[in-house]
Structure 1
Amino acid sequence: MTTEKLTFSGHAGDDLAARLDMPEGPHLATALFAHCFTCGADIPAARRIARRLAAMGIAVLRFDFTGLGHSAGEFENTTFSSNVDDLVLAAQALEARGMAPSLLIGHSLGGAAVLRAAPRIPSSRAVVTLGAPYDPGHIAHNFDDALDRIDAEGYATVDLGGRHFRIGRDFIADIAGERLEPELGHLKRALLVMHAPRDCVVGLENATRIFTAARHPKSFVTLDKADHLITAPADAEYAAGVIAAWAARYLDLRPPAPPPGVPEGVTRVVESDPGGFLQDVSAGPWHHALADEPKAYGGTNRGMSPYQFVAAGLGACTSMTIRMYARRKGWPLDHVQVDVTHDKVHAQDCTHCTEADKLDRFTRLIRLDGPLTGAQRVRLMEIADRCPVHRTLEHSARIETRLNDEGAKAAPERETG
């Protein structure tokens, strides 16, 4: 994805800093992300969700609320209602660019904010909450010991996760008066509630109340052992994958026709983890997979290795070709299974192989179930070798490689001599 930095005016006229993550390919929809209380737009979970959505053609706007991160203004003068106003203004800024958001995602208090903002964003069709409180006033327990001082003096500095923030009396009064139940009952948008049972900041009972109060279509997905900030990469990856799969059912994702001469479209592979080998593999907005390496070779084993993808293509093509032939002949083939193995380890190709060993060998074990005759089985095994992928691998293919430096960031040139 490519990221564009931009600003828009918040509820008090302050410039709010935003990041617009754009797909490398066609732009099919737009999402608006609201971060957690006192967090910022660049927390790891937000970045991972943005990358995953961008891979399927959904642009994502992440921004820092007033007084946080790179946004101007004073945090102590903000309220929950002003955060909702900032969300609506962010949606309007997107609409002005012809990118009105159809998907709203909110983390923690940001989840409560998107629920409140959704009726004021006409373009929104689906809402996702991550660890969101049912009652915005729930977050006041984080600074219970400062409430008397805030009430008496108007403001107080509180320690939240090792960072200090000034909380104002207006903020406390605002969240105390907030009730989400009316909005939830008339949301009229698809809702996905995601929450971790072990969340010690916002208890699971909040998710239960949100889900119960909302009407269908609604879904509930547990984040298992994730913490409130979804800091573990595997948890962030899981959340991103679920959101992407769920959103595809409710957003109008219509990819353009594939380029001339490329009937199957473009398969895009995007690096997900520069510190490892995890890759996002996308073929249009609906088909997604992860590629990785085993842990023994520096990967995280969260996806198939490159050679496993090649083996999968060979196995799938073999099974399809056999089925197509048997169907045309009307033969009683009940089921096909193809096991494919490859006799070299991808990470060792260039370091431990001799010149004579560089021939890749794939082995197929084909199972044909059904009352077939011996002659029919022999013929279907012959047909297996006519699989297009088999022929491509057997006869080799021509690979053309070109550099795409459009929008790439180059290092500054150094003087020599």
Structure 2
Amino acid sequence: MRSEKVTFENKNNEKIAAIIDWPVHQHPKATALFAHCFTCSKNLTAVKNISKGLTSAGFAVLRFDFTGLGESEGEFESTNFETNIDDLEVAAHFLATEIEAPKLLIGHSLGGTAMLHASKKIVSAKGVVTIGSPYQPNHATHLFEDSIAEIKNKGRAKVSIGGRPFTVNNDLLKSLNENDSEHIISGLGKALLILHSPQDKIVEIDNAEKIYIAAKHPKSFISLDGADHLLSDKNDSTYIGEIIGNWVNRYLVFNEEKIFDTNHQAAAQTNAESLTTEVIADGHPLIVDEPKSLGGNDIGPNPYGLLSAALASCTSLTLQLYARRKKWELNVATVHVNHSKISSSDSNSKIDHFERNIELIGNLDDDQKNRLLEIANKCPVHKTLHSFSKVDSNLIE
């Protein structure tokens, strides 16, 4: 995904640092707003992985640092649950101005609880996703429960959250205690997806149960079995991004003409962080990667795997279309392709070798099978591989 650093101002005219993650084709089908966990930042690896899953599904995602956190201006000590909600509203307005008002709202931990509250004012949103989120905002107070008495008596206290020092004042404590989620969730009026790990030791699984019971349909729950609260295992956050990207399609209506750049059949994008490559082919998202032995993450086929798949799929399609035209009883055409490099008979160089094995299931005689084997060599991709091809490369400014 291509990531663009941006800033916007909160209600106190302080700069909020944000990143917009773009889909590879640069024509998002919708925008999503992401809220990170309590005292975290937009750069948390799990947040980036989830965002990448959404950009692969065609979304542009805005992730930002709440006031006083990460690269954003302001003091954390002066913030509270209401200012977090204010930041979300301002972020949604920024998205509406720069690209399109967000249709999807996502929050991790307390960010998810804040997103539930903010969703009442973000009317463009059609779906809300919570990830390991507490049912009530005051659940977060257990992170500094040993200092609550001091906060009440002195107005503030220095606490350690996640191994980092923060100053928490009485205003934040009151804000977390006085905001109630039950009526917010019951009157949500949007599709809700709840993702939570039964093994979450920071926000217990019963929080997800309470959110689910309070919410009205449409609502869904997916267990993140084995995941920890911060989603430190990359597989968990990658899975979440894929799940959200698929789930939300049921609740959003997209303008397909707006989504895809019809001037290009395919587009691919690889960033500096990994070899995992996002691909759009004829408007359909794919992931291409390299095996771990070559420095990749092995979460998709490599380019030659795709090329082999192109030959296999083109062959099976061609066979089925020919059999239909001839009214032959070909029930299933399965094509297996393996690619390798072999020595050329007339030089010291290597040539590409595609081994294609074809399985034909149906009521076919030997003549029909032999004719279909001949037709396999006439599939368009086969012809392309055997013909001279021209590739023009141009730089886009």
* 1: CA distance, partners of 2:379 / 2:56: 30
CA distances 1:234-280 after superposition (whole Å, capped 9, x unpaired): 222222222222233333332437667x6xx43222225x3542222
The answer to whether residue 279 in structure 2 is matched with residue 281 in structure 1 is yes
Secondary structure at the aligned position of 1:277 is classed as coil
Deviation of 1:7 after TM superposition, in Å, equals 3.0
Assess, with a 3 A threshold, how the Cα gap between structure 1 residues 393 and 293 changes in structure 2: closer, same or farther. same
Assess, with a 3 A threshold, how the Cα gap between structure 1 residues 284 and 80 changes in structure 2: closer, same or farther. farther
Q: After superposition, where does 1:96-115 map in structure 2 within 5 Å? A: 96-97=97-98, 99-115=100-116
5+ long unaligned stretches in structure 1: 407-417
The answer to whether residue 324 in structure 2 is matched with residue 303 in structure 1 is no
Deviation of 1:222 after TM superposition, in Å, equals 2.6
* 2: CA distance, partners of 1:165 / 1:308: 50
Aligned to 2:122: 121
Q: Is the 8 A contact 1:8 1:17 kept in 2?
A: yes
Instruction: Tell me which of 352, 355, 369 is aligned to 2:361.
Output: 369
* 2: CA distance, partners of 1:226 / 1:208: 17
Moved more, 113-122 or 207-216: 207-216
Secondary structure at the aligned position of 1:238 is classed as helix
Secondary structure at the aligned position of 2:363 is classed as coil
Number of residue pairs the alignment of both structures matches:
394
The answer to whether residue 18 in structure 2 is matched with residue 18 in structure 1 is yes
Give the letter for the 2:135 counterpart.
Y
* 1: CA distance, partners of 2:330 / 2:349: 38
Q: After superposition, where does 1:92-171 map in structure 2 within 5 Å? A: 92-97=93-98, 99-171=100-172
* 1: CA distance, partners of 2:65 / 2:191: 25
* 2: CA distance, partners of 1:39 / 1:128: 18
Assess, with a 3 A threshold, how the Cα gap between structure 1 residues 244 and 252 changes in structure 2: closer, same or farther. same
Q: After superposition, where does 1:23-42 map in structure 2 within 5 Å? A: 23=23, 24-42=25-43
Q: Is the 8 A contact 2:54 2:61 kept in 1?
A: yes
Instruction: Tell me which of 394, 402, 414 is aligned to 2:386.
Output: 394
The answer to whether residue 314 in structure 2 is matched with residue 313 in structure 1 is no
Aligned to 1:251: 252
* 2: CA distance, partners of 1:193 / 1:43: 20
Q: After superposition, where does 1:224-239 map in structure 2 within 5 Å? A: 224-239=225-240
CA distances 1:368-406 after superposition (whole Å, capped 9, x unpaired): 1111122221222221111111111122422222223x3
Give the letter for the 2:279 counterpart.
V
Deviation of 1:297 after TM superposition, in Å, equals 2.6
Q: Is the 8 A contact 1:52 1:280 kept in 2?
A: no
* 1: CA distance, partners of 2:194 / 2:46: 16
Deviation of 1:98 after TM superposition, in Å, equals 5.0
Give the letter for the 2:29 counterpart.
L
The answer to whether residue 259 in structure 2 is matched with residue 267 in structure 1 is no
Secondary structure at the aligned position of 1:333 is classed as strand
Give the letter for the 2:74 counterpart.
G
* 2: CA distance, partners of 1:292 / 1:38: 33
Q: Is the 8 A contact 1:56 1:284 kept in 2?
A: no
Q: Is the 8 A contact 2:56 2:286 kept in 1?
A: no
Q: Is the 8 A contact 2:14 2:74 kept in 1?
A: yes
Deviation of 1:229 after TM superposition, in Å, equals 1.7
Percentage identity across aligned positions?
43
* 2: CA distance, partners of 1:30 / 1:317: 35
* 2: CA distance, partners of 1:280 / 1:237: 13
Deviation of 1:186 after TM superposition, in Å, equals 2.2
* 2: CA distance, partners of 1:78 / 1:259: 42
CA distances 1:128-158 after superposition (whole Å, capped 9, x unpaired): 1111111211111111111111111111111
Give the letter for the 1:5 counterpart.
K
Q: Is the 8 A contact 1:255 1:284 kept in 2?
A: no
Secondary structure at the aligned position of 1:73 is classed as coil
* 1: CA distance, partners of 2:213 / 2:17: 35
CA distances 1:201-260 after superposition (whole Å, capped 9, x unpaired): 111222222223222222222333332222333222222222222233333332437667
More strand by share: 2
Aligned to 2:88: 87
